[in-house]
Amino acid sequence: MSETTIAKEQTESTSTEETTMSDTTTDSARTDQDSDNDHIQIEGIQKTFDDGAIVACDDVNINIDKGEFVILVGPSGCGKTTTLRCIAGLEEPDKGEIRVGGNDITNLAPKDRNLAFVFQSIALFPHMSVRKNIRFGLDMNTDLKDDEKRRRVEEVAETLGLEEMLDRKPSSLSGGQQQRVSLGRAMVMEPEAFLLDEPFSALDANLRDEMRVEVKKIQRELNTAMVFVTHDQEEAMTLGDKIVVMNDGYVQQIGTPYEIYNDPTNRFVADFIGSPSPNLQKCTVERTDSGLVLSTDVFSVPATDEQAEHLKDRVGETLIYGIRPEYLTITDGDGDFTASLDVIEPLGDRDAIHLSADDMSFSAVTPQGELSRETERVQVNIQTEESWLFEQGGTRIV
């Protein structure tokens, strides 16, 4: 039984939740730039279930370079796992093409794709030693000489710090060590790419942090593409060279962690990435003697030159004003608005500050201990240069 055959035996998701195309998706958001180094090309993949009633993913286009760490991230049910399973060959797409190294593999059996799948649940054989677990795929799927198999297992065990544990049974290992064995089993196959589906979700928070660093180091060392599924935006930001944000079956944006964080293509991406979440408030475009301003019930701020350029024909319209918490600053002087301090949430080096003014809530981030619990009201300044504007439907304007 191969790694991928084991995958077929994993339980399938059977929810009948229906998905529809997000109205916030734009053409530019769904495409990925072609590059000469593209190793894996995913073009126009669609997968539906229940005779088309459930669209698990649609129009997915992703290019993956040889040594690239790509994260598929999005809320539960957005189609990440289905996309990954299409790449692995565990699902047959209704439409689209998948190429590896220029070869069309869309209709190849999973075992013929040379892609290694690492699962959410650690599927080790309890009666086999770590050594046998790691070399399992080599025994089942290759005609390599025994010496070569031994060499690969030992090399991988060394990379993963498992040398001392090769003769132990999985039950005597910690969760993190077991997940390492599972990675090792994929690594010995020397695949074209690793496909990982929430591999750390069963681990506790500290171990998860450790494994993230480890897997990123390993990926850098191997210089092999990894496609990693997670619903955790923080995991996506810390691991990815390239992040693919999905919602309702559609890719919303593809970019580096900084691009996704600083320059979201729509309201969904802005809201999904980053913690605390950005402030997103309805505002009206107004013309004053000193130029265009953006007005909410609580504050009125001048449009930046760039914003004004996009808004000159939109006076009177209602839009969404977006700003990350770190760009709201507490000031001693007169701010852009006054707010009540509701809650201080210590985050370590910073505090998340939750504020309210009229019926609106805001989050800000301040250095540790800057505000005391006794503080009742604060003056808040908005760093308008860092703000975004979205259509009410969610598409980014500027």
131/212 with CB nearer ligand ATP: 212
Residue 300 · residue 293 · CB < 8 Å: yes
Smallest CA-to-CA distance from 244 within 333, 233, 278, 223 is with: 233
Give the whole-angstrom CA distance, residue 359 versus residue 277: 18
250/299 with CB nearer ligand ATP: 250
Q: Minimum Å distance from CB 349 to ligand ATP? A: 30
Give the whole-angstrom CA distance, residue 200 versus residue 221: 20
Q: Minimum Å distance from CB 308 to ligand ATP? A: 39
Q: Minimum Å distance from CB 250 to ligand ATP? A: 11
Q: What Å distances lie between residue 51 and 56, 210, 301, CA to CA?
A: 12, 42, 51
Q: Minimum Å distance from CB 239 to ligand ATP? A: 16
32/198 with CB nearer ligand ATP: 198
54/225 with CB nearer ligand ATP: 54
154/232 with CB nearer ligand ATP: 232
Q: Please enumerate in sequence order all residues whose Cβ is within 8 A of that of 150, keeping only pairs 6 or more positions apart, or say none.
A: 135
Give the whole-angstrom CA distance, residue 330 versus residue 340: 12
91/351 with CB nearer ligand ATP: 91
Mapped onto helix, strand or coil, the DSSP state of residue 155 is helix
Which residues of the chain form contacts with ligand ATP (CB under 6 A)? 12-15, 17, 19, 49-50, 54, 56, 74, 76-82, 231
Residue type, 163: E
Q: Minimum Å distance from CB 392 to ligand ATP? A: 26
Give the whole-angstrom CA distance, residue 359 versus residue 336: 17
Return left, alpha or beta for 101; rule: phi > 0 is left, psi -120 to 50 is alpha, else beta.
left
| Chain-centre distance for alpha carbon 140 | 33
Mapped onto helix, strand or coil, the DSSP state of residue 182 is helix
- Complete edge-to-edge strand list for the sheet that includes strand 38-49: 54-65, 38-49, 95-100, 103-104
10/296 with CB nearer ligand ATP: 10
Give the whole-angstrom CA distance, residue 221 versus residue 201: 23
State the CB neighbour count (10 A cutoff) for residue 369. Answer: 10
Q: Please enumerate in sequence order all residues whose Cβ is within 8 A of that of 200, keeping only pairs 6 or more positions apart, or say none.
A: 179, 207, 208, 211, 212, 235
29/246 with CB nearer ligand ATP: 246
Q: Minimum Å distance from CB 203 to ligand ATP? A: 16
272/390 with CB nearer ligand ATP: 272
Q: Please enumerate in sequence order all residues whose Cβ is within 8 A of that of 122, keeping only pairs 6 or more positions apart, or say none.
A: 170, 175, 178, 179, 181, 182, 202
Terminal CA-CA length for the chain: 52
Give the whole-angstrom CA distance, residue 380 versus residue 323: 13
16/171 with CB nearer ligand ATP: 16
Q: Minimum Å distance from CB 390 to ligand ATP? A: 24
Q: Classify residue 16 as exposed, middle or buried by CB count within 10 Å of its CB (0-12, 13-18, 19+).
A: exposed
